[in-house]
Amino acid sequence: MLQTISYLYQVADVFAFLVLAAAGLAIIFGMMGIINMAHGEFIAVGAYVTTYSYQAGAPLVLGILLGSAAAGLFGIALERTVVRRFYHRPIDSLVATWGISLIMTQGALLLFGSGAPGVGTPFGSVAVAGGSFSIYRLVLLLIAVLVLAGLYLVFMKTRFGVHARATMQNAAMARSLGVPVDRVYAATFGLGAALAGLAGGLYAPTMTLSPMMGGSFVIEAFVTVVAGGADVLVGTPPAAIVLAVIKATATSFYGQVYGVMGLLVAVCIVVRVLPDGFTGWMTRRST
């Protein structure tokens, strides 16, 4: 019994992590066709701002929101200056954002040093069926679901969402219909960065702070986005579920390392079998 609950808990935990880590990246990839290699650094921005705010006395929730906002603003600034030249050039954008990532991580290393004391994980743990499970991580699961629901509302029910989806389908057409495409791009990139910052802030209490910390998220985020495909609403959730199961299973049998390897191998298989990710599979099924 404990084993089952433990396993389900693990799957849920990984699912939450994948969704939160990948949501921002998926939106940017789906909208602008670029691969943001600086995604891990946006996460780090969120984590750092959250931690410093908390240590300055702010309540954790506020700290997390600040972290998310900071990352979002930083993202918009970056988009306006650099990223906008690379739309729909996935390889060039990959290389360019890689450069940005290098500058950010190494710059942070220079400024902040290699580590900083983190925040402790709040809420403690709950005992179930003889095992002890962190409540905070269950809260994160709830937040992950809320994020997905929130994204659904934004993209389906708001004017921005309509503009965004139009731009995603056909930017030239949208522009000629009066959609402020440049602002949509900037806002979307900012949203993607803010979500990354949110993930950083949310997980900051569970990790040590370091300028390289984005790296712990990046593999999972990329794998989820590639497997999910361009649509964060249709593709990311099923991809996250499938990958969470794979990772949890591999981890419980063989350990953390094989968990990560399992993901990496899974992405290769998905790319081979479902070239458009789960997005393609789901949309094809509905025709």
Partner 1 sequence: MKNLLSLVNGPQTFGQGRTFWSAALLLLVAALFFPLFVSNYTVGNVAFFAVWVFMALGLSLIWGYGGMLSFGQTAFFGMAGYSYGVIAINFGQQSNLTFLSLILALVMAGLLALLIGYFMIYGRITGVFVGIVTLSLTLTLATFVNQTAGPEWRIGRARLNGYNGMTRIPPLSIPWVDGKLYFEGTAFYFLVLALLVVTYLGLRILVNSRFGNVLVAIRENPDRAELLGYDIRRYQLAAFVIGSTLAGLSGALYTAWGQFIAPASMALPAAAMPIIWVAVGGRKDLTATMVGTLLVLWLFQSLIVISQQYALIFIGALLLVTILFTPGGYLVWLMEHWQAYTERRRERAVPLPSGRPVAEGAAE
Partners of 128 in the β-ladder: 131
Q: Which of residues 230-259 bind partner 1 (CB under 8 A)?
A: 257
Cβ closer to partner 1: 17 or 133?
17
Q: Are 15 and 244 in contact (CB under 8 A)?
A: yes
Cβ closer to partner 1: 58 or 116?
116
| 210 lines the binding site for partner 1 (CB under 8 A) | no
| 267 lines the binding site for partner 1 (CB under 8 A) | yes
The residue range among 46-54, 106-114, 188-196, 244-252 that interacts with partner 1, by the rule CB under 8 A, is 106-114
Options 48, 52, 203, 222; binder of partner 1; rule CB under 8 A: 222
Distance CA 12, CA 269 (A): 23
| 268 lines the binding site for partner 1 (CB under 8 A) | yes
Structure tokens at 141: 């699961």
**Torsion angles phi and psi, residue 229, rounded to 5:** 95, -170
The residue range among 71-79, 115-123, 147-155, 261-269 that interacts with partner 1, by the rule CB under 8 A, is 261-269
Partners of 209 in the β-ladder: 116
The residue range among 150-158, 186-194, 199-207, 222-230 that interacts with partner 1, by the rule CB under 8 A, is 222-230
| 92 lines the binding site for partner 1 (CB under 8 A) | yes
215 burial class (0-12, 13-18, 19+ CB within 10 angstroms)? middle
| 2 lines the binding site for partner 1 (CB under 8 A) | no
Calculate the CA dihedral of residues 207, 53, 12, 158 and round it to 10 degrees.
-140
Options 85, 88, 157, 284; binder of partner 1; rule CB under 8 A: 85
| 116 lines the binding site for partner 1 (CB under 8 A) | no
- 286 SS3 class: coil
The residue range among 64-72, 137-145, 201-209, 219-227 that interacts with partner 1, by the rule CB under 8 A, is 219-227
Instruction: Determine the Cα angle at 276 with ends 273 and 282, to 5°.
Output: 90
| 143 lines the binding site for partner 1 (CB under 8 A) | no
Distance CA 52, CA 112 (A): 12
The residue range among 99-107, 140-148, 178-186, 199-207 that interacts with partner 1, by the rule CB under 8 A, is 99-107
Cβ closer to partner 1: 225 or 233?
225
Q: How far is the CB of 95 from partner 1 (least distance, A)?
A: 5
Distance CA 71, CA 53 (A): 14
For 220-230, letters b (16+ CB in 10 Å) and e give: bbbbbbbbbbb
Options 100, 116, 139, 166; binder of partner 1; rule CB under 8 A: 100
Distances (CA, A) of 29 to 170, 176, 205, 247: 15, 23, 28, 23
Q: Which helix (H) or strand (E) holds 271?
A: helix 256-273
Query: Given the rule CB under 8 A, which residues bind partner 1?
Result: 35, 82, 85-86, 90-92, 94-96, 98-103, 105-107, 109-110, 215, 219, 222-223, 226, 257, 260-261, 264-265, 267-268, 271-272, 275
